Structures are given as structure tokens and as C-alpha cells.
Amino acid sequence: MLKINQVSKTFGDIKALDDVSFQVSDGEFVFLTGPSGAGKTTLLRLVLRELFPDEGEIVLEDVDITKLKRKDIPKLRQKIGVVFQDFKVLPERTVKENVEVALAVINLSRKDWKARIDHVLKLVGLEERGDLFPSQLSGGELQRVSLARALVVNPRIILADEPTGNLDWDTADKIMDLFEKISAEGKTILMATHHKLIINKLKKRIIELSEGKVVRDTGVKKLSPSQNTREASKESMTGSSVSEDKRKSKNFKSKESIKT
């Protein structure tokens, strides 16, 4: 699904990311954690092609997005659902209109809008708030709007940048329950957070960054560049993903652990 391969990014003299490599499989829920300035947001912005890496490749669904032309960036972003710490909802539009905008962006036929909007608003628990403006909503509700907008386009992957950063614990907990629910529906989620309680509670794969480097990956063992290439060619030759198998077994284990 998503492969980050030897990615580096500097801002002047500051090395924001240094030779970062990892893969996220289809349906996986991954926490990207680390202290402030570790490079979490930079990494998400690279995946969104807001920034361009100095080195390395970022492959999303077999497409190296570092090689995308400028005109193809909107198409890439339409495949990605984004949830921000500061919600980034359109203040002059109602909840429903905020969600509608995302559908208009992907140019979905209007006749399909209602069913999709009703579904996501129900999923995030805002079915009764559709006609309210953002100024009439609480922080938690705003984050739900942001999540609904990300989900309504049926994205291939959801990138969440500190989605609970502006919320109190109770509200954050509820938002995380929602993310878990969405993950259970098979969505791939890459979430940047340093909220230890949340990370510990959800027991998902954790990729920890520090000073731009991956210092811990609880899911997949970090591969060397040569291993990375070998793995990729093996995947392309067999047509199946080694990491996918690993993910399935890991997911199974984690589901088991949640049940118990």
C-alpha cells in the first residue's frame, strides 16, 4: 500500500528526515510517534506531496509519488483522507456542506452524495448535526467533521496528524474509538501522535521517529536498503506481498489480544 524507501528531507541545515524506510500494508493501522520535531508531520506532508523529499522514494499503490507531475497531485490527494490537528473544516459551510465539498472535489455524481453523506455522518455520530455550522460545534465534533470529510471519498489511506492534539482525554478517546471502528472496516491509517495513552491503549503497530530517523518499528523489522530492493522485487515477481502475509498474521494476533 505505502512504501517509504530511504527518504530524507532537510530544511536548510536541519535534517527533518534521515534515510527513513518502512512499509504500511493494506488495512493496517500504524502510529507514527516521537517527540516534537522528530519528523512525523514532515513525513505525512511528503506522502501528501505537500513537500518533496531530497532523496528516496514514496510509493503509494505502486506509484512513486515523488515522480508525480504537478498536475497529477490533486488525483493523488483525492485517494488520501486527511485529518488535521486543527480540524481544517470550512468555517462558512455547514457540516453537510463540508462533507459535500470533498465529494465535489472527486467529481462524484450528485445522485450518490446523499447515501454517502448519511453513511459517514452516522458513522461519526453527527447525523443530527448536519445543518450546523462549525462555530456551533465542539472540538470533538469538529474533528468528527474532519474525519467524515476524509472518509466520504472512500480513501485508500487515511493520514491523521495529531488528530487528538487539541482535544481533552475523554473526547480524544471517543475519536480514537472512531478510528478503531474505521480501521476495523479495513481502512489503512497512518496516524502521527505523541499521545502515549492512546498508543498504549490501542496496541497497534508503532513507528517511532527521533531526530528524523526511525528508531523503533514494532510491526515490521527495519529493512536495509538492499533487503528493501530484494523484498520489492520478490513481491513483484510472486505477485503477493510478504509484508501482507506478515500483516495478516499480526492483525490476527492483535485482534485476538483485543478479544482477550
Q: Which residues bind other proteins (CB under 8 A)?
A: 48, 50, 74-80, 82, 88-92, 100-102, 104-106, 110, 149-150, 153
Closest approach of other proteins to the CB of residue 150, in Å: 8
Q: How far apart are CA 211 and CA 241, in angstroms?
A: 30
Count CA atoms closer than 13 A to 32's CA, side-chain side.
29
55 neighbors 62 (Cβ within 8 angstroms): no
Considering the complex, state which of residue 35 and residue 74 has its C-beta at the smaller distance from other proteins: 74
Secondary structure (3-state) at 15: strand
We find the least distance from the C-beta atom of residue 198 to other proteins, in angstroms, to be 23
Q: Minimal distance in Å, beta carbon 218 to other proteins? A: 29
Q: Is the CB of 102 or the CB of 175 nearer to other proteins?
A: 102
Tell me the residue ranges of DSSP E strands in 34-95: 55-60, 63-64, 80-83
Shortest spacing between CB 70 and other proteins, in angstroms: 9
Query: Look-up: residue for cell 475519536?
Result: 175
CA atoms within 13 A on the CB side of 84: 8
User: Is 12 in a helix, a strand, or coil?
Assistant: coil
Nearer to other proteins, 146 or 183 (CB): 146
**Helix or strand run (H / E) with residue 95:** helix 95-105
Task: Name the DSSP letter for residue 84.
Answer: -
Give the nearest distance from C-beta 220 to other proteins in angstroms: 28
Residue 89 or 178 with smaller CB distance to other proteins: 89
Q: What's the chain's length in residues?
A: 260
Is 102 or 126 the residue whose CB approaches other proteins more closely?
102
